[in-house]
Amino acid sequence: MTWEYFISIDHLIDLGIAVGIFLLFMLFRKLFTKYVFSILLKLTRKTKIGFLSNILVAFEKPVQWLFTIIGLYVAIRYYGISIGYNIPSFVSSLMSVSFVLLFTWGLMRLSSSTSALFRKINEKTDIKIDEILIPILSKTVQFVILAIALTVVLQEFGYNIEAFIAGLGLGGLAISLAAKDALANFLGGIVIISEKPFTIGDWILTPSVEGTVEDITFRTTKIRTFADALVAVPNAQLANEPITNWSKMNKRQITFNLALSYETPKEKLQTIVQKIESLVKNHPGIDPETIFVKFDTYNDSSLDVFLYFFTKTTAWGEFLAIKEEINFKILDIVKEEEAEFALSARKLYVENDTLTDSNKSLRQES
């Protein structure tokens, strides 16, 4: 073609039509987003099948980009036909790959909501999926989607999948050596899932971290600390550590020593112990199975009363409220018996005769 054609009126018209086709598809995209999608979303939300609305939300962005890619392809194809130029097969392959990637994008967005789907299955059916398995199942779904998409894309470009898999087999040793930490973390995750020392939402304590479990992946377990920081602990490390699961407590322990002064008479000490024991045994929030209130120790500066019992509740706030109430009532009991709490103190005794002799010697020397 000559340069005269590219600046001719016919070419400019064909170019303008191609641009108009692309803009028309962009208009369709706008109309779809503003009207069609909104109407469909409202209709699905009125139904009892909430997963339909999840599908629409997941594929909203991919469908918008689908309009853009189709519009671009149709415009390019029309322009090529108008100037007598055949679009290469490579462009058609790119279009096919684009459709696959957009569909994969939508499925990946949808798979992020599979956790809610699995929880719905737990609620509506007899199939009970452990809470700790839900994040792993969701990640597995995403991995399968990506693997299938990669296979389709490679086949579209004519790549031999069997040769690719054979290549992975030949390089398996190098990959296993390079990825031994990842494999250890994966196996650690399997151990955590199989033994179930905790589940999502549990409050756990390990030598490395304390907090609430938020998520479990193939590589790490994410724990929200009480300082609101998110800590990712490798599964291999977590599987080899002692784990205390505070959420599995049936009751919560209260234990401390009550230090009374040595001036407290024996009769008052006995009365205080009896009243505190009666207080704890009759409290509705205290578990009656294990209660100890005993005069225990002669300390350096105090007579120590040992208290050991459990609250029925394990909730932190309720536990603190019960503990506070008992502490206030113990104060009242000690006050009623006119006893005093012991204070750590030391007294220094100096003999008068020794002090006098030393003063005399100092005067003689002076």
Alpha carbons 73 and 92: distance in angstroms, whole number: 9
- Residue labelled with tokens 């692309």: 22
Residues near 347 by Cβ (< 8 Å), separated by ≥ 6? none
CA angle 115, 117, 118 (to 5 degrees): 65
N- to C-terminal Cα separation, the chain: 127
Residue type, 211: G
Q: pLDDT tens for the chain, 366 residues: list them.
A: 555 555 667 667 777 888 888 888 888 888 887 777 778 777 777 766 666 777 777 788 888 888 888 888 888 777 766 666 666 666 777 778 888 888 888 888 777 655 555 556 555 655 555 566 666 667 777 778 888 888 777 777 776 666 655 555 545 545 555 556 767 777 777 788 777 888 888 889 999 899 999 888 778 889 999 899 999 999 888 888 999 988 888 899 999 999 999 999 999 999 999 999 999 999 999 999 999 999 999 988 899 999 999 999 888 889 999 999 999 999 999 999 999 998 766 666 666 655 455 554 544 544
For residue 86, the 8-state DSSP code is: P
Nearest to residue 104, comparing CAs of 191, 246, 96? 96
**Structure-derived torsion over alpha carbons of residues 228, 232, 237, 240, reported in degrees to the nearest 10:** 50
Question: Which domains does the chain carry?
Answer: 3-161 (no CATH), 180-245 (2.30.30.60), 249-336 (3.30.70.100)
pTM over 0.75: no
Residue type, 136: I
